[in-house]
Structure 1
Amino acid sequence: MRLFREFCVASLLTATATTAFAATYGPELQGFEYPYPIERFNFQSQGKTLQMGYMDVPAKGKANGRSVVLLHGKNFCAATWEGTIKALSDAGYRVIAPDQIGFCTSSKPDSYQYSFQQLALNTHQLLEKLGIQKATLLGHSTGGMLATRYALMYPKQTEQLAMVNPIGLEDWKALGVPTLSVDQWYERELNVNAEGIRKYQLDTYYVGRWKPEYERWVDMYAGLSDGPGHKQVAWNSALIYDMIFTQPVYYEFKNVQVPTLLLIGTADTTAINKGIAPPQVKATLGNYAVLGKQAAKLIPHATLVEFPGLGHAPQMEEPARFHQALLQGLNTL
């Protein structure tokens, strides 16, 4: 049976990998359809006029007066929160889902000093513009690092912190993972393609269990990377990877004072630059079955919910199970 399942996965990959993605999208993801209307936040940052795309989805039915801000991961967009937006809205929450600067529907400046502090400030300014004085921050993957920084910078404006398989639960550089220069990252990002995206997602996000609905997200990422803003997208992506690798939040988990919910797929093995790490280092990296428990001990007011056997994106692998745990967690923190 196991061999049959592996054969089916391999067959599906062979079939889909040979499919040419006809769709390409503009440098701000023009042409890709979001699940809710995209609005624009125009602001000044580092001497530049920038805009953030975001979705502002009201509570459906009886509103509970609470707001949740969804922070996407590095290879994701606000659109990939589609199922979570609906689940939260149906439960009475107002949901704000922005695309950070450098990502998806937002500006990709030619030069920008990326830092989690800057992205947190940008997000805070958006919430101020929307009149949201206090919110729950829910971050996935790289968005978990950003959500942590936001909670550290704005504890009084953070009702709760929730993280889904956040990266940065270990300091890769300190563990001996090789560092790439921005130029090296740029060369790698210029070569992003659908086949590579799909293989990486199959290995880490969905742990060998591919579903047809995941193709939409491969199409989104590949279409943006291969579109008319190809070099602009790759350059910003390189700067962001450098930010992720060189600005760990791991050492500050002990300072997070807001109630925190950790939602962890235990089969996840994500770690930046893991593929080029020495074998003895590589073997120790990205073990979320261990890292989730360690983070829960480091964060003072943390509640850990594990999803055995799920990968880096449990909200996409098993949405019903994930959203039940999320809503229960937010109501009990």
Structure 2
Amino acid sequence: MKKLTYILFAFITVSFAQAQNDEPISLGLMLENYKYPFPVSTKEFDIQGQKLTMAYMDVQPEKPNGKTIMLLHGKNFCGAYWEQTATDLSKEGYRVIIPDQIGFGKSSKPTNIQYTFQLLAQNTKAILDDLKITKLTVLGHSMGGMVATRFSLMYPNMVEKLVLENPIGLEDWKLWVPYQSVDNWYAGELRQDYESLKNYQIVSYYHNTWMYEYNKWLNIPAGWTMNKDIYLNIAKNAALTYDMVFTQPVCYEFQNLKMPVLLIIGQLDRTALGKAKAPAEVQSKLGNYPVLGRQTAKKIPNAKLVEIDGVGHLPHIEEYKLFIKPLKEFLKG
């Protein structure tokens, strides 16, 4: 009987995971009907006169090594895409903290808030304070790299090591790309659907390739577009956070990072916010990650650069083994 129960549970689990990989389904504002890989906790905040909820996962290892690592998601993602990374690091003894920033994933989606990287860093620290975590490694991907950099600049005594995986913000797009208002960003987001989101990911993340496994991370933003009532909130949040990313570069402060830093850079990445609006002669120069990675490594006093050939914006999704090996070596070094 126990064996039969286990088989049924495994079948249901696999079937659910398979479903999340197939066609998108309409999703709730805080992903109420989307299952995360680990138990989700929440913290309540009073921010700019609003009661907001921030979700996070706290993955406890069976055999702790006394170390903690925090994984920070990118702009078009949530904490769930760190599942494999968190599982492997937990097996190595690390406690793994995975927040969903306000405006993302299972956290609140306010539509009238001033987003700053300082605010996101403060919220994140408040969760760590609740968990009594005073020392840790911080890993940020894409926009999460900007959050991780700001966090490390604000709380340098907490951050033992910093890892930046294809972070955006390695250049200041304002120097070449015309500014667009939040209203313009919002109008663009309201036009999004499954096909437009997939085309964007194919071009921007996966260098004009696509694999079945990528559907899982496309289906979250695509699922939101299917719920017209809540998608107004999602689109407004996306517009507000685009404005934050565009107007608050961190690239001028890399030289102030004091901790050891690992840069993991997929060499086919060409991500640059608003690139299509830049002058034609400039577009090809924006988002050149091979160049940006080397320039950034030179700015940071104690940096190690790992370049991954044949990989785009998401090394930990596209070529996991090439991502996790240098990460584990850096953590143990």
| Aligned pairs (5 A) from 1:106-145 | 106-145=107-146
Contact 1:59 1:93 in 2 (8 A): yes
Q: What code does the residue aligned with 2:157 have?
A: K
**3-state secondary structure, aligned to 2:208:** coil
Aligned residue in 1 for 2:48: 46
CA distance in 2, matches of 1:198, 1:90: 33
Deviation for aligned residue 1:79: 0.6
Match of 2:37, SS state, is coil
Alignment of 1:209 with 2:209, yes or no, is yes
How far, CA to CA, are the matches of 2:251 and 2:33 in structure 1?
37
Question: What's 1:305 paired with?
Answer: 306
What do residues 79-132 of structure 1 show as CA deviations (whole Å, max 9, x unaligned)? 111111112111111001110001111011131110000000000001001111
Match of 2:272 in 1: 271
Check 1:243–1:140 CA distance in 2 against 1; reply closer, same or farther (3 A cut): same
Percent identity, aligned pairs only, is 50
Instruction: Determine if the alignment matches structure 1 residue 283 to structure 2 residue 284.
Output: yes
Contact 2:75 2:144 in 1 (8 A): yes
Number of the residue aligned with 2:186: 186
Q: Compute the displacement of 1:22 (Å).
A: 5.4
Show CA shifts across 1:216-250 (max 9, x none). 11111111233231101111110000000000000
Aligned to 2:79: 78
Q: Which amino acid aligns with 1:143?
A: G
Distance 1:22 1:76, change over 3 A: closer
**Which deviations, in whole Å up to 9, do the C-alpha atoms of 1:165-213 show, x marking residues without a partner?**
0000000001x11111000000011112111121121222222332111
Structure 1 unaligned regions, length at least 5: 1-19
Report how far residue 318 of structure 1 moved.
0.9
- Equivalent residue number for residue 221 of structure 1: 221
CA distance in 1, matches of 2:185, 2:226: 16
User: What amino acid is the match of 1:199?
Assistant: N
Q: Which residue of 1 aligns with 2:155?
A: 154
Q: Please say if residues 194 and 225 of structure 2, whose CA atoms lie closer than 8 Å, have aligned partners that are also in contact.
A: no
Give distance in 2, aligned partners of 1:299 and 1:139.
Answer: 16
Computed over aligned residues only, the root mean square deviation of the Cα atoms, in angstroms, reads: 1.2
Quote the residue 1:197 is aligned against. Answer: 197
Question: Which residue of 2 is the match for residue 29 of structure 1?
Answer: 31
Report the Cα distance in structure 1 between the residues aligned to 2:191 and 2:165, rounded to whole angstroms: 28
Q: Secondary structure at the match of 2:109?
A: coil
**Which residue type is aligned with residue 213 of structure 1?**
E
Shift of 1:56: 0.6
TM-score normalised by L of structure 2:
0.91
What is aligned with 1:17? none
Q: Please say if residues 104 and 224 of structure 1, whose CA atoms lie closer than 8 Å, have aligned partners that are also in contact.
A: no
Letter matched to residue 155 of structure 1: P
Look up the SS of the partner of 1:155 in the other structure: coil
- Amino acid across the alignment from 1:52: M
Supply the distance in 1 between the matched residues of 2:120 and 2:232 (Cα, whole angstroms): 22
Whole-angstrom CA distance in 1 between matches of 2:226 and 2:280: 32
Q: Is the 8 A contact 1:57 1:96 kept in 2?
A: yes
Secondary structure of 1:262's match?
strand
Q: 2:59 is matched with which residue?
A: 57
Measured after TM superposition, the shift of residue 164 of structure 1 is 0.3
Q: Distance in 2 between matches of 1:72 and 1:316?
A: 12
Q: Aligned residue pairs: how many?
A: 311
Distance verdict in 2 for CA 1:325–1:113, change over 3 Å: same
CA distance in 2 between counterparts of 1:35 and 1:274 reads 34
Aligned to 2:246: 245
SS of equivalent residue, structure 2 residue 112: coil
The SS at the match of 1:34 is coil
CA positional deviation for 1:47: 2.1
Gaps of 5+ in 2: 1-21
**Runs (4+) of structure 1 moved beyond 3 Å?**
none
Alpha-carbon distance in structure 2 between the residues aligned to 1:25 and 1:321: 32
Report the Cα offset of residue 21 of structure 1.
4.5
**Within 1, Cα distance between the matches of 2:89 and 2:196?**
32
